[in-house]
Amino acid sequence: MILRAEPLTSAAFLPFGEVIECPAIPGRTYFEDALSSLRPGARPSLSLTVKAPLAALPLLSTTMERHEFSSQSFVPQEAGRWLAVVAPHASSGGPDMARARAFLCRPDQGVTYGANVWHHPFTVLDRTARFVIVMWRDGTSTDEEFAKVAPFSVEVA
């Protein structure tokens, strides 16, 4: 399967979560869905990550992950372009790769993956990147789940 990365927009990403962008004019924007949890015992988790860029395009993978009960937000501190590859949960279980989409994110855009949204592990393209990650964790195996899927690639124009 080949996915072609499309520009990240709020409207296109809405079925999977929320785009996080600073306001264009002075002021504040709230992102309430960035802090959603479906488990009363989970605690908020804030982490910082540094990620090396993908060695070569296209992205080739057989892995998707999800956080069934928690949103997960990625907010760039210092970044180039990066990818958000998503798929809804299939009624038969696992990611519905037939409905997967790939988004090319600008350095100033973050995302919140909604709870139970399958996504590819974090992938940066142009240069080493630094991100803030926010999610909810309770320390159990339900914090995150990984699934093997049929091979797919993501092409970036």
Read off the pLDDT of each residue in 137-150 and give the average, rounded to a whole number: 95
- Does the pLDDT of residue 35 top 90, yes or no? no
The model's pTM is 0.93
33: pLDDT strictly greater than 80: no
User: So what CATH class is 2-155?
Assistant: mainly beta
Instruction: Report the pLDDT averaged over residues 127-146.
Output: 95
**Domain extents in the chain:** 2-155
Inform me whether the pLDDT recorded for 24 exceeds 90.
no
DSSP letters along the chain, please?
A: -EEE-EE--HHHHTTTEEEE---SSSS----GGGG-BS-TT-EEEEEEEEEPBPSSSSEEEEEEEE-TTB-EEEEEEE---EEEEEEPBPTTSSB-GGG-EEEEEPTT-EEEEPTT-EEPPPEE-SS-EEEEEEEEE-SSGGG-EEEEEEEEEEE--
pLDDT tens for residues 77-111? 999 999 999 999 999 999 999 999 999 999 999 99
pLDDT band at 71 (very low <50, low <70, confident <90, very high): very high
Per-residue confidence (pLDDT) for residue 124, from 0 to 100: 97
